[in-house]
Amino acid sequence: MKKKVAASVKRSSAKSNKKKIVRSNKTMPSKKSSAPSAKPSFTQDPVFTQAVQNYEAGLKAMQEHKFEKAKPLLEKIIASGPKELADRARMHLNSCNQQLVSSATTFKSQEEHFDYAVSLMNGGQYDQARAHLEKILKQNAKADFALYGLALLDCLTGQVESSLKNLSEAIRLNPQNRFQARNDSDFQNMADDPRFTELLYPEPGESTFTKV
């Protein structure tokens, strides 16, 4: 009887060992799955990082209506960027090209071009208005009316220093701009600035241009 009991004990202990081994084998995959993935990250790729930066800069330029600046950034992504970004960039580039075509308005004169820029300014499209005014000045650096327009635009957008500088230059090129500015309500944001007052109402014998 004792031998049989001993044998049964051995068999039961052997079974329990097998069960333990099976349980330990089942737990192995869970330990492996908890290990961090060894897949390479795209953010570690300098080419991908540069493409993302170009993409973000391109979108920002489009939001600011600077389509001429956005276009080359998007083209870089399409040429050498990863496919997932290139597909998106291609879609935005098509939209960008459409905007450039629609904005490629021809003008009979610089004065007509200026009137168009003023209409954009009045419509609150400040970035586009600035682009057209700067384009006029590239064609004619002595276009005092374009400088006057930039002074107005700078005042409306809170760029006081730049506004004073552009207005001073506009008056230097054409003193009539001083009298126009006196009655221009768009300069009301600078009405309390003593430099603005000195520029429009200079003391006799003093320099008629403010130093900014």
- Mean predicted confidence (pLDDT) in 139-152: 96
Q: What is the pLDDT of residue 98?
A: 74
Residue 103 is predicted with a pLDDT of 62
95 to 73, 91, 125, 127: CA distances (angstroms): 14, 7, 18, 18
Find which of 28-32, 113-117, 205-209 is predicted with most confidence, using mean pLDDT.
113-117
Please report the pLDDT score of residue 47 as a whole number: 82
- pTM, whole model, 2 decimals? 0.53
CA–CA dist 115, 146 (Å, integer): 10
